[in-house]
Structure formats: structure tokens, C-alpha cells
Amino acid sequence: MTQRILRFLADECPDTPCLVVDLDRVEHNYRELAQALPVARIFYAVKANPAPALIERLAGLGANFDVASPGEIDLCLAAGVEPSRISYGNTIKKKRDIAYAYQRGIRLFAFDSEAELDKLAEAAPGAAVFCRVLVDCAGADWPLSRKFGCHGDMAVALLTAARRRGLDACGLSFHVGSQQTRLKQWDRAVGAVAKLFGRLRDAGVEPRLVNLGGGFPTTYRTDVPPVADYARAIMNAMTRHFGNDLPEIIIEPGRSLAGDAGVIETEVVLIARKDEQENRRWVYLDIGKFGGLAETMDESIKYPITTPRDGGTTGPVVLAGPTCDSADILYEKTPYLMPLDLSIGDKVRILSAGAYTSSYSSVGFNGFAPLKTYCI
Amino acid sequence: MTQRILRFLADECPDTPCLVVDLDRVEHNYRELAQALPVARIFYAVKANPAPALIERLAGLGANFDVASPGEIDLCLAAGVEPSRISYGNTIKKKRDIAYAYQRGIRLFAFDSEAELDKLAEAAPGAAVFCRVLVDCAGADWPLSRKFGCHGDMAVALLTAARRRGLDACGLSFHVGSQQTRLKQWDRAVGAVAKLFGRLRDAGVEPRLVNLGGGFPTTYRTDVPPVADYARAIMNAMTRHFGNDLPEIIIEPGRSLAGDAGVIETEVVLIARKDEQENRRWVYLDIGKFGGLAETMDESIKYPITTPRDGGTTGPVVLAGPTCDSADILYEKTPYLMPLDLSIGDKVRILSAGAYTSSYSSVGFNGFAPLKTYCI
């Protein structure tokens, strides 16, 4: 919670629910990361928070952008980003969307399969392509499943084929899982990638790029290692496995840039008990899983939450959203305590909510409008 | 899949993904239900599919409407629905939203807690209110947790208090869980409600209404009992527990009216394997969990899916959406088989997708537009 957000909420009293993003904080996070990892090019993961003002602020700082769709490409171009600063990082693209990106000047693409390589060779001739490999995501709060990436053997075969087909087979990418707090995971992944670099060279491919993906965490209820520790872990891993012959490094932070820059202001709609004997209160807010808090799915992300009555005696609560959907419960298993004198109408603040909230918001489930964002 | 939808898709070739809803089918479902349960008043659960043309069609048939928010109230009023045909069925309402509804003429409200009763007594004086009680949801594909409803003892106390405060304490509601296929669950719930009716009468309250909620299923991959069986189970339960002194009956179908009237047309974006040895293909569609298929959460709802190559040899697939989100997987544990010659660009159809799809769609996650609906 920054002073600027506090002041905005006090002065403007915006209707709830709403998300307020402090762009100065985003800029601070960007500069801190750039300073900690000076050898890396930073590609902001637009999906984390696509607010135009946020994109413009980062564009002005010289950031690059990782996009997932033509919609995000248009957003970046409209913010004045040159196509050379855009990476089409989604491994799942329609061929006509690749062609659209290529036509707009984008020349850097992710892929992880033979069929996607076919599309790229045809729709983006000569473009630089990197192949995403599967790595172990243990330790991530929002682990990545096997949806993206392929086995290392396949990556070598695919990049070799890419070169044969006239593409610039530039390197490899991986992702250790979002909100990853085990620093050693980067070392393991970088080690695996370095081995694949050797195999690629043997196959006549000259890889030059390692895309370390995202995964850098933001602080929710528990502290996370500082950016400097992540930077050190990454640089140690890179030098340990690549020696002095360091490849180009790309990182794709989203959460770690926008997360702690945003606060959701919400209102207590109802406080209830299911029977007289029940100790836990049900606290219903005017935002829930379908209004932007999708990452509470399986109670994965545990937001810090403040109330105007903090400091007094507290008791356990179940937190839920305002829709008629029974799945719209934020925290039922995770212990949350709130003041016993919390009242209907109180403004409750959900901290570290700048990333992966507004963009997940439903278009109008139960007739509730999408989460409104104020960039300040 | 109706003939009208087939013809529309063939003639119009709309961009994918899109949802096509056959309003004639919705009308058929409504008439069938109304005929099977002539003593019940039907309140369509607007949240299931709030397409204006669908609301208008049902309004023209004389349906009533169950709404969750001021947004849904406005939608119904704009479609020409009289306020006397609207029930504000959300138990979680801001006091100003209750006042808004009351001012627009709505006089029927749900509640399940003391604090909500306070709001109703102040913002909706004299209105009819029904209290939602907790019942067992076992057997539902989308069970309801304890988010809504209170213990029976509390319901008696709340309705007694409601009467004391000048409200019309008109009855009780329950919900057996969405896509409920165990017919006996209605008998158990109606039995419990009948007992509460007796206790309410002893307390000087004259309840006259039982709101049976929704839960009526639509056909997904497995057959469900026909509407007539549900109607019979409900009427048997009502007469067994209430005898000849039947209360007013309200039902709130959503899925069973709109579900099988809608088809989502989607395109295969990518087919991939993670390594050469893997048997299962990953099939990526241009719609996923955040584009409208939220009910695939935990693989709860299993949609029937057709491809243009059905009939030949099939193999197992994992089905996933187009976003860069690792949680955007539709079916990984549920066995789905698709033709071995399925190809990128093929149009795949997700059937029984008329309910709880378009309204769940995200406002633009990953830059993808919300699901477009065509009502025909």
C-alpha cells in the first residue's frame, strides 16, 4: 500500500470494487529489477495487467513486452512500443495471428511443437524463434502444469528443423512457475538449458538466447526473497553453467512489476453465520472469484487484506464474493482473521492485487460490471 | 445441436470462438417444464445466460425472472418484464441495491441472515421475503458449498423476526446443487422444508411459498433423467410432505432452459505432443477456461464435443485453451477421445454450452475478446 494510493482512495472515494495501480511503484519495481539484472532484457508480461497507462509508463522506461495475442500486440503498438521490442511469447497461435504479428513488424516468437514451427516457417519467414522446454515447477504457488514446453530432446530436434527451414533458431526458454520462491529451481533449469545449448551446437545450430521466463514473486501474505537474491541466483546459475560465454538473457516479469503496485478497494456486503453455534463468520465482499480474484482458485494466492478496524480483537472468517455462484468463495480453508467489530459497509483493502486481477475479471457474471482500474 | 444452429453456422461462418443460442430450443425447454410442473411459477435464473434476446423471448412466454444484481434487474426491465415478475434471489445484497430494486417495483427478495434482514426491513418495507435454508447437495456436478442458506433453526427465527419487522415472511427456499441428478435429493429437502413450515406456523408465521431453486440438469456427456421425471419427483415430494395443502411453488431453472440450446463453435489452434514417445496429443482450442468455459474448473462439467472428422479412428487427448495461463486446461484427467486425423484449423463444437459460458467469459484475459453470442 503506497502513500499515493492511500491519498487517492481518501480523496476520490471511488465506487467499489476497484483496482488502484500506483505507476510510480511499477516504475520502481522495473528500475530495481533492471539494476539487479543489468545483462537481461526485460519483457513485461502484458497479461499480468494490460492497463494502457501502465504499458505506456513501462514503454517510456525502455521496457520490452511479452504478448499473448493480436489484442496485446495492438495495445503495445498503440502505446508507442516499436515492434522490435515485442516478443510473441504464446506457444499457441493461429497462423493468421502469426502473419498479423509479422506484418506489424514483430520478429521474435515462442514455440514448442512441430505444428507451430510449420506455421512460423510459413507465416513469419526468417523470424527469430525460441523453443520452450519443460522444467520442474515445484515450489511455485501457481505451478505451470505441462501445458507449455516440450521435452529437451524434442527441443533440439525442433530448433534444428527451424534452422533448416530458414528461421533464426535463436535459443530456448523455460518457466519455473509463477510466484516461484525456491531459488534453486533457476539453477536446475539453467543447467538443463546449458546442456541443450551444447547439443544444439553439435547439431549445427548456434543458439544465443536464454529466455528465463517469469516466476519472480511479489509479496502476498508471506515474505519472499528480495529481487537482489533472485538476480544473484540467476547470475550464479548462468555463470556456473555457461562460464564466460554468456548468452543473451531475456526475462518476462509480470507479477513482480505490477503486483505490489495495486490495491483493490472493496466493500463488505454482508457478514453472516450459518447457525447460532458457528464460530466463523462468513464475510461477503463486493468482489470475488469472477470479479478479478481468479487466482484464489484452490486458494493458491493468499492476498494480504486490511480493514479499517484492524488492531482490535479478531476472529476467524470465511471470505466470499457477491455472486450467486457457490464456487465464488475466496478463502474457506486458509485461516483468515478479521476484527470482531468488522461491519457491513466497511471498506476492505486487498493488497498486492496489481497483477492477474483486472484482466481475469468476468465480462459481467451475475450482472456485475468488470473490475475498474485507476492508474495513478 | 439443433438444425437451426447447424444452418446458421454453415451459412454465416462466424468468427470463432462464438456461442450460438437457438431461442426456439429455449422456448421448447420452457414450455416442456411449464407443462410438466403446471403448479409451479418459473423464474429463469438470468445469470445462466443474460443475452437480451433470450430474456425477451422468455418474457414473451410469460416467464418470471430470478436476478442477482441491479445490472440484471435493468436487463429484465429493459426487456419489458414487469417488476412483479422479478425475484431478487441473491442473499448477498448491498442495502442501496435493495433500495434500488424496491424503487423499481420489486417486492420479492431472498435472504438467509440477520444482517440481510435488517437491510430488507429498512430498504424494502413490507416486501415479501423468503429465507434460504441449507440442504444436502450430494449428487450435484456443481455442488453448492455452504455459501448460501442457513440452518433450519435460524430460518425459523429469522422469518419470525421478519414478520415482527413488518415484512411479508412468505416462505422458504433451498437449492439442491446445480446439475443435480439424484431425484431423491428433492424429497429430502422438501421434507425438511415441510417440517419447518410446521414450526413457523407454531411461531405465528404463515408461510405460503416454497422456492425449490434450480438444479435441473441439462444433458452433457451422460444422459440425465427427463424433465417429466424431475417434475414427478418434485410433485410426489410436495404432496407426500404437504398433503393437499400445497404451498405456492417457485422454481429457478437456468441451465435446464438454456444449456442444450447453445453450441460453442471453436477452432483447433494447435495439436502437439510434449515428447515423441507420448501417446496423448494436446489439443489447444481458441476458447478455454477464461473465455467462457469456467465450469470445466476441476473438470466438473464435461461437455460433449464434436469434430468434423468424427467417425474414424480416435486417440486420447488433453484439451486446453489458448491463453498463456497454465491453469487454462479443460480436460486432462477426464478421458476425451478425438479423431487421429484431427487437424489445426478444424472447427470443433462444444455442445450444451448455452448456460454458464458467455457470462463467465473474462473481459479480455491475454488480450482475447469476450465470447460473442448469437441468438437465433
Question: pLDDT by residue (tens digit) across A233-242?
Answer: 999 999 999 9
Mutate to test the interface with A, among B90, B106, B366 (most CBs of A within 10 A): B366
Q: Residue type for A342, please? A: L
ipTM of the complex in this document: 0.94
pLDDT digit string (tens) for chain B, length 376 residues: 899 999 999 999 999 999 999 999 999 999 999 999 999 999 999 999 999 999 999 999 999 999 999 999 999 999 999 999 999 999 999 999 999 999 999 999 999 999 999 999 999 999 999 999 998 766 666 556 789 999 999 999 999 999 999 999 999 999 887 777 788 888 989 999 999 999 999 999 999 999 999 888 888 988 888 899 989 999 999 999 999 999 999 999 999 999 999 999 999 999 999 888 888 999 999 999 999 999 999 999 999 999 999 999 999 999 999 999 989 999 999 999 999 999 999 999 999 999 999 999 999 999 999 999 999 9
Beta strands in A195-346 (DSSP E): 209-211, 248-251, 262-272, 281-285, 305-306, 314-320, 329-339
Chain A positions touching B291 (Cβ under 8 A) are none
- Are A323 and B144 in contact (CB < 8 Å)? no
Give the pLDDT confidence score for residue A215 in this predicted structure.
81
Give the pLDDT confidence score for residue A143 in this predicted structure.
55
Give the pLDDT confidence score for residue B167 in this predicted structure.
98
CATH class of A50-253: alpha beta
- Of A19-23, A368-372, B11-15, B140-144, least confident by mean pLDDT is B140-144
- Are A90 and B275 in contact (CB < 8 Å)? no
Chain A positions touching B90 (Cβ under 8 A) are 322-324, 366
Q: For chain B, what percentages of helix, strand and coil (3-state, to nearest 5) are there?
A: 35, 25, 40
What letter would DSSP give residue B150? B
Q: For chain A, what percentages of helix, strand and coil (3-state, to nearest 5) are there?
A: 35, 25, 40
Give the pLDDT confidence score for residue B59 in this predicted structure.
98
- In whole angstroms, give the CA distance from residue A204 to residue A272: 67
Give the pLDDT confidence score for residue A279 in this predicted structure.
85
- Of A206-215, A219-228, A245-254, A336-345, least confident by mean pLDDT is A219-228
Q: Where are the domains of chain B?
A: 50-253, 260-375
Chain B positions touching A368 (Cβ under 8 A) are 69, 71
Give φ, ψ of B12 to 5 degrees.
-95, -20
- Are B115 and A362 in contact (CB < 8 Å)? no
Give mean pLDDT, residues A313-333: 96
Give the pLDDT confidence score for residue B177 in this predicted structure.
79
Name the β-bridge partners of A374: A20
Alpha helix (H) ranges present in chain A?
3-12, 23-36, 52-60, 70-78, 95-103, 114-123, 152-164, 184-202, 227-242, 255-258
- Of A15-19, A138-142, B110-114, least confident by mean pLDDT is A138-142
- The yes-or-no verdict on residue A217 having pLDDT over 90 is no
CATH topology of domain A260-375: Lyase, Ornithine Decarboxylase; Chain A, domain 1 (2.40.37)
- In whole angstroms, give the CA distance from residue A142 to residue A180: 8
At B35, is the secondary structure helix, strand, or coil? helix
User: What residues have CB less than 8 Å from B111, skipping those under 6 apart?
Assistant: B91, B117, B120, B129, B130, B131, B132, B158, B162
Active site (annotated) includes residue B324: yes
Chain B positions touching A366 (Cβ under 8 A) are 47, 68-69, 71-72, 90, 359
Pick the residue from chain B with its C-alpha nearest to A297.
B297
Pick the residue from chain B with its C-alpha nearest to A68.
B366
Q: What is the mean pLDDT of chain A?
A: 94
Q: Quick one: which H or E segment has residue B258?
A: helix B255-258
Task: Please state the pTM of the whole predicted model.
Answer: 0.95
Mutate to test the interface with B, among A44, A72, A325 (most CBs of B within 10 A): A325
- Are A68 and B367 in contact (CB < 8 Å)? yes
